[in-house]
Structure 1
C-alpha cells in the first residue's frame, strides 16, 4: 500500500476529513486529524445535513456507518408555503422514502464519525498556520509554536482554507448572496405559530427575492435561514452588520413586512443571529503540478460552493471516498499519481455540483421567484 510506513495529516475535522480518516484507518493507514476547535463539544454552526444516495451515503456505506447514520438521522417531509403561510405543496416522510436523504444534526454526525476512529486520531485545538517542505517531509506549523511532521497532507479545513495556497493562487469569490441564520431553542413555546406551521417538516417559502428555509427539528432547536441578494449598502467586510442583533432583526422585519405575522414572530423570537455571505472557490484552472511533496484538498477546501443544491457536504464525502480508494489502490506507483487521478475525477463532478448550486442561487434570488412556478 502507498501509505505503508507513512504518516498522513488531515487538516480539519469536518465531515469530509473525519470520513477520510475512517476510510484510511480501515486500510491500516497511520492518520492524524488536526482540528482547530477546542474540543469535541464545540458547537458546529449551521443547519442539518442530508446525505445523498450515490455520494454521501455511499461514503458512509464504505465506512461501515450507513446503518448508524440511518439510526441517528431524521426522515423529514417538506412543506412549501407562500408569504402568507398558505400551503402550496407538501411531501410526507414515508417508510418508502425514509432512507432517501434523512436529516442529521452536524454535531451528531461529528460524534458518530469520531466514535468510529481509533483513540487519539483527532488532535484538538490545533489551528494550522503554515506548511514547510523539510528533509523529504512536511513540517506542519500550528499556533503556539507547535510543530508536527507528515509524509502526506490533506487540506480539509473549510472554504477559507490556508492549505489551499500551497496548491493554487486562485482566490475564493463572493457570490453576492447573504444568509442570515437563526436558532430558537424550545420552538414549541417560543414561536408556537410557526412551529405548528412546519408540522414537523422542513419549511420553504419564497417571495420577492426572499427565501426562507426552516427545520423545526435540529437536535431540539428550530433552525432557519433567510437567503437574499446582498444589499449594495452591506459591505462584506463590515462586521457591524453581522453582529448587531437588533439591527438584523429590524432589517428582517422591514424586509418581510408583507409576510404573515407567523414569520415576523419567528424573527422576534430569535435572540441571536449568524450572518454570512456565500462564497465559491472556482475550479476554472488545474492546481499546481510542482508540489514539493504529496498534498491535496477535499471538501470545501477543494470546491467551496453555495448551499443551494445540497451538494456541499455530499461532494466532500465523495472526495473522501474516491481519494481513499486511490491512496489504497495498489495499481498506483506513487502518492503523486494517485492524487492526480483523484483530482482529475474530482474536478469533473465538483464542477457539476457547483454549476447546479450556482444555477439555483441565481434563480431563487430573483424578485419574481416563487415555489408556485415549480409546482405549476
Structure 2
C-alpha cells in the first residue's frame, strides 16, 4: 500500500472527510482529521441528507455502514403542492423504493461515522489557515493551535476550502440563485397545521419564481429551504441580517404574500434562519501538476455545485470511495499516481453532476416550473 508509514491529514470532518478517514483507517492507514468545530457535539445545521444507491450508499457499504444507515435513515414520500396548499401529486414509500434514498440527519450521520473511527482520529477545534512544504512534509498551520506535519493532505473542508489554492487556481462562483434555510423547533406545537398537512412527507411547492422544499422530520425539527433568483439589487451583497429573525420572517411573508396562510404559519414559526447564494466551482481548468507534495480535494472542496439534484454529498462520497481504493488496492505504485487517476475519473462524473444540478436550477427558476418532472 502506497500509504505505508505515511501520515494522512484530512481537513474537514463533514460526511465526506469522515468517510474518507473510515475507509483509509480500515486498511491500516495512519490518518487524522482536523475540524474547526469545537467538539463532536457541535450541531451541524441544515436539512437531512439522502444517499443514493450508486454513489453515497456504495461508499457506506464499503465502510461496512450501510445497514446502520438503513436503520437510522427515514424513507420519506414526497408531496407536490401549489401555492394555495392544494396537493397536486404524491409519491408514496413502498417496499420496493424504501431503500432508494432514505433521509438521514446530518448529526446522526456524523455520529455514525465517528463511531467507526479510533477515538483519537479527529482533532477538534482546528481551523485550518495555511500549509507549506518543509523537510519533505507538509507543515499545517491552524488558528491559535500548534502546527502539525503530514505526508499527504486531503482537503474535505467545503466549498470555501483554504486547501483548494494548493491544487487549483479555479475560484468559486455564484450561480444567481439564493437559498434561505429555516428551522422550526417542535413543529407539532409551533406550526401544527403545516406539520399535519405534511403528513410525514417532504412537501415541495413552486409559484412565480419562488420555491419551497421542506422536511418535517429532522430529529424533532422541521427544516425547509426557500429558493429564488437573486434580486438584481443584491449585486453588492444580501441586505438581510439572518440573526434578525423578525426581519427574515417579514421578508418571507411579503415575498410569499399571495401564498396560503399555511405557508405563512411556517415562516412565523421559524426560530432560526440562514441564507446563502448557490455556488459552483468550474472544473474546466486543469489542476496544478507541479504540487511539491501529495495534496488533493474531495467533496465540495473539489466540485461544489447547486443543491438541485441531490448530487453534492453523493458525489463527494463517491470521491472518498474511489480515492481510498486507489490508495489502498495496490494497483498504483505511488500516491501521486493514485491521486492523478482519481482526479481524472472525478472530473467526468462531477461535471455530469454539476450539469444536472445547473440544468435543474435554471428550470426551477422558471415561472412554469413543475416539480413532478424531477420525481421518479
Query: TM-score scaled to structure 1, two decimals?
Result: 0.97
**Which residue of structure 2 lines up, in the alignment, with residue 85 of structure 1?**
85
Check conservation: 1:139, 1:148, Cα contact below 8 A. Answer: yes
Give unmatched runs, 5+ long, in structure 2: none
SS of alignment partner, residue 171 of structure 2:
coil
274-283 vs 100-109, which moves further: 274-283
138-147 vs 210-219, which moves further: 138-147
After superposition, the C-alpha distances for 1:257-316 in whole angstroms (9 at most, x for unaligned) are 111110011111113211111111110112000000000000000000010000000000
**Which residue of structure 1 lines up, in the alignment, with residue 345 of structure 2?**
345
Check conservation: 1:57, 1:66, Cα contact below 8 A. Answer: yes
1:325/1:266 CA distance change after superposition, 3 Å: same
After superposition, the C-alpha distances for 1:129-159 in whole angstroms (9 at most, x for unaligned) are 1010111100011111410000000000000
364-373 vs 89-98, which moves further: 364-373
Alpha-carbon distance in structure 1 between the residues aligned to 2:48 and 2:188:
19
- Deviation of 1:97 after TM superposition, in Å, equals 1.2
Alpha-carbon distance in structure 1 between the residues aligned to 2:184 and 2:133:
47
Indicate yes or no: 2:180 matched with 1:180.
yes
- Deviation of 1:214 after TM superposition, in Å, equals 0.4
1:133/1:114 CA distance change after superposition, 3 Å: same
**Which residue of structure 1 lines up, in the alignment, with residue 6 of structure 2?**
6
Check conservation: 2:194, 2:262, Cα contact below 8 A. Answer: yes
Indicate yes or no: 2:47 matched with 1:47.
yes
Indicate yes or no: 2:141 matched with 1:141.
yes
Alpha-carbon distance in structure 1 between the residues aligned to 2:105 and 2:175:
26
Q: Once superposed, what is the RMSD of the aligned Cα atoms?
A: 1.3
1:185/1:145 CA distance change after superposition, 3 Å: closer
Check conservation: 1:49, 1:105, Cα contact below 8 A. Answer: yes
- Deviation of 1:12 after TM superposition, in Å, equals 0.4
Check conservation: 2:12, 2:158, Cα contact below 8 A. Answer: yes
Alpha-carbon distance in structure 1 between the residues aligned to 2:100 and 2:371:
22
Alpha-carbon distance in structure 2 between the residues aligned to 1:171 and 1:37:
25
**Which residue of structure 2 lines up, in the alignment, with residue 370 of structure 1?**
370
Give unmatched runs, 5+ long, in structure 1: none
After superposition, the C-alpha distances for 1:218-259 in whole angstroms (9 at most, x for unaligned) are 010010100000112224634644333222211111111111
Alpha-carbon distance in structure 2 between the residues aligned to 1:236 and 1:325:
44
Alpha-carbon distance in structure 2 between the residues aligned to 1:118 and 1:276:
34
Alpha-carbon distance in structure 1 between the residues aligned to 2:374 and 2:352:
22
Indicate yes or no: 2:4 matched with 1:37.
no
Indicate yes or no: 2:335 matched with 1:335.
yes
18-27 vs 230-239, which moves further: 230-239
Alpha-carbon distance in structure 2 between the residues aligned to 1:374 and 1:342:
30
Check conservation: 1:236, 1:277, Cα contact below 8 A. Answer: no
Alpha-carbon distance in structure 1 between the residues aligned to 2:363 and 2:117:
41
1:292/1:283 CA distance change after superposition, 3 Å: same
Alpha-carbon distance in structure 1 between the residues aligned to 2:282 and 2:68:
34
Indicate yes or no: 2:153 matched with 1:166.
no
Q: How does 1:317-332 map to 2 (within 5 A)?
A: 317-332=317-332
- Deviation of 1:373 after TM superposition, in Å, equals 6.7
Indicate yes or no: 2:82 matched with 1:104.
no
Alpha-carbon distance in structure 2 between the residues aligned to 1:348 and 1:374:
22
Q: How does 1:211-222 map to 2 (within 5 A)?
A: 211-222=211-222
1:238/1:363 CA distance change after superposition, 3 Å: closer
Alpha-carbon distance in structure 2 between the residues aligned to 1:164 and 1:175:
19
Check conservation: 1:242, 1:276, Cα contact below 8 A. Answer: no
